[in-house]
Homo-oligomer: A and B are copies of this chain.
């Protein structure tokens, strides 16, 4: 394992990847992680179109070559025809983590009834955790605030790098073992 945690940030968006607008969602993930983490980490950033083979290739590279212990995707989780991020994620994962999607939808339901349209999931490829977030920048922080408290312990359980967080920003939880 690397000393410094490598964390993949994968933005999946036809329009952002074509340069039609700026990738605010990928930036929102990076700045949220900078807020949370006090231990050293390095983002590995990718921006691609909503094409299932491209998403699968990017996820495999981020895990297998870039050695990311965590990959966070944004975009492609809705019901539009081109939204295929959850399918690509499931295809590259060995085991699924249904609790992440359940909690993010439950959390988003407090704000909008259309939260149930979000098909986002999470799973494990080898010793890495892959989490789908929705594409809207304002939903990024909401969703990460809900699930990130469990992320450092999840990575501990897969023998990944020790992620340390700022307790004034986010209360992560590691059970006494």
- Given pairs A80-B157, A99-B115, A117-B153, 9 additional interface contacts (CB within 8 A): A83-B95, A100-B116, A102-B106, A102-B116, A103-B109, A113-B149, A114-B149, A114-B175, A117-B154
10 closest residue pairs by CB, A with B: A99-B116, A113-B149, A114-B150, A80-B157, A99-B105, A113-B173, A79-B157, A116-B150, A79-B154, A113-B150
Q: Which residues of chain B come closer than 8 Å to A150, judged between CB atoms?
A: 113-117
Can you offer 20 A-B residue contacts whose CB atoms are under 8 A? A79-B95, A79-B154, A83-B95, A86-B95, A97-B116, A98-B119, A98-B121, A99-B105, A99-B115, A102-B116, A103-B105, A112-B175, A113-B173, A114-B149, A114-B154, A114-B174, A114-B175, A116-B147, A117-B154, A117-B157
A118 interface residue (CB < 8 Å to B): yes
Are B129 and A116 in contact, with the CB atoms below 8 A?
Answer: no
Q: How far is the CB of A153 from chain B (nearest CB, A)?
A: 5
Whether a CB of chain B sits under 8 angstroms from the CB of A81 is: yes
Q: Is A87 an interface residue (CB 8 A)?
A: yes
Cβ contact within 8 Å between B117 and A99: yes
A154 to chain B, nearest CB (A): 5
Chain B residues positioned under 8 Å from A149 (CB to CB): 113-114
The interface residues of chain B lying within 8 Å CB-to-CB of A163 are none
Which A residues, 157 to 177, have Cβ-Cβ distances below 8 Å to chain B? 157-159, 171-175
